[in-house]
Copies of this chain bind each other. A is one copy, B any other.
């Protein structure tokens, strides 16, 4: 291949303008520079590309053949740069989010909606899974950003808490008698508990906390989603450990009651997770901005 690709750009403009001088002006170069560039290209290809004459230049047969290729190539590069600009303007592109089921259902939807409205050209790809799975996706670049329940212990990740949540216990009307006094953790442990599966981050958090207080729990039910927790509790199958912020609908409608605790479970957060040392893509950055702009006051 030719030593310097820029020679082809010069060739392209000269072939277009059929004049060294005109091409030079267009390229913001001087005429001698163009002249030398073409000479060098001809030398390297060992082929005369232009017939020079006092009123301009004309492509030789060989030059004309080459021009077809070069023209296409230059147009492609131009198109590529245009594409990049579109991506930069977020007129196109994609955003791949890793996020757990609960979070996407109760927390993320409004942000996804806003983002899509603001940047309709960006394709959204939502990957669901456990916190662990999603973090693996993050590391293998399967997703750009993840929204996870904190805390999360991983040195490779950059974590930005963005929404505080409170773990609480709720139950159906049959358990109304429990409202008369704040319950200790030990008392809670005696109730028929409805929890998420053990591999869920939320379950681990609560379980670990209770354990740190010397309380071991053994649930009656282990369910796959926050939705199911609420549904099971509503029909009085037991006491569910849920996120207060995501249970307001049920509580306000009187379907569930929140049990008072003698000491609340410490707050935790939903957080935005990304890889340390790997800058966010433009789309990801914008999405994070949207979330943080809205939830500004509650992190």
A contacts, CB < 8 Å to B: 1-2, 4-6, 8-9, 45-48, 51-53, 58, 60-62, 65-66, 68-70, 72-74, 76-81, 83-84, 87-88, 93-94, 141, 144, 277-279, 281-282
Q: Are B281 and A62 in contact (CB under 8 A)?
A: yes
Specify which chain B residues have a CB less than 8 angstroms from the CB of A77 in the assembled complex.
1-2, 5, 8, 69-70, 73
Query: B94 and A66: CB pair below 8 A?
Result: no
> Please, which residues of chain B bring their CB within 8 A of the CB of A72?
73, 76
Could you tell me if B61 and A94 are in contact, using CB atoms closer than 8 angstroms? yes
Minimum distance in angstroms from A103 CB to a CB of chain B:
23
Compute how far the CA of A73 lies from the CA of B45 in the bound complex, rounded to whole angstroms. 18
Chain A at the B interface: SS class: helix
**A73 adjacent to B65 (CB under 8 Å):** no
* Complex contacts, A46 vs chain B, CB 8 Å: 88
Task: Determine whether the beta carbon of A84 is less than 8 Å from that of B60.
Answer: no
Q: What separation, in Å, do the CA atoms of A191 and B68 have in the docked complex?
A: 61
Tell me if B61 and A80 are in contact (CB < 8 A).
Answer: no
B282 contacts A81, C-beta separation under 8 Å = no
Contacts of A62 in B (CB 8 A): 84, 87-88, 93, 281-282
What CA separation (Å) do A219 and B265 show in the bound complex?
A: 125
Taking CB as reference atom, which chain B residue is nearest A51?
Answer: B278
Compute how far the CA of A87 lies from the CA of B49 in the bound complex, rounded to whole angstroms: 12
Partner of A80, one of B9, B73, B80, B281: B73
Report chain B residues within 8 Å CB of A68.
Answer: 80
10 CB < 8 A contacts A-B: A8-B77, A46-B88, A52-B277, A61-B144, A62-B84, A66-B80, A69-B83, A70-B76, A70-B80, A76-B76
